[in-house]
Amino acid sequence: MADDPRTDSELVDAVRGGDGGAFAALYLRHRDRAFRVARRYAPDDGPAMDAVQEALLYLHRKGRGLRPTARFTTFLYPVVRHEAQRAARNARRGQGPTSPERQLGVCIPPVRLARSEER
């Protein structure tokens, strides 16, 4: 898989056709560089790795909807950056990936939470 001779464009076409091996090849080919991009924005290695995984899962979910109008990395790196920035924001707010709010998909602003506790 790591030595897949197909180009990124060919692999994306294969992913659109449902080839899971093609997606694995893309992952193995770009994970290290994506991690370095994420590490620029994430607070440390753990959130950076999570950001890479989230970005790749996002692109995998897009699957057939992914239209290769540019290089694969043109799609990948901005998503990685966005996920890493979200991880950094969550770290500043004290919300880890396992916080109850994140598990439920609810975002409660800290000011609002403090007012509800006063009541």
Structural domains of the chain sorted by starting position, each given as residue range(s) with its CATH number in brackets: 8-118 (1.10.1740.10)
Q: What percent of the chain has pLDDT over 90?
A: 19
Q: Is the predicted pLDDT of residue 4 greater than 90, yes or no?
A: no
pLDDT digits (tens, 9 = 90+) for 13-50: 888 888 888 888 988 999 999 999 999 998 888 889 98
Average pLDDT, whole number, for the chain?
77
One-letter-per-residue 3-state SS of the chain = CCCCCCCHHHHHHHHHCCCHHHHHHHHHHHHHHHHHHHHHHCCCHHHHHHHHHHHHHHHHHHHHHCCCCCCHHHHHHHHHHHHHHHHHHHHHHCCCCCCHHHHHCCCCCHHHHHHHHHC
Local confidence band at 68 (pLDDT 50, 70, 90 cut-offs)? low
pLDDT for 63 equals: 67
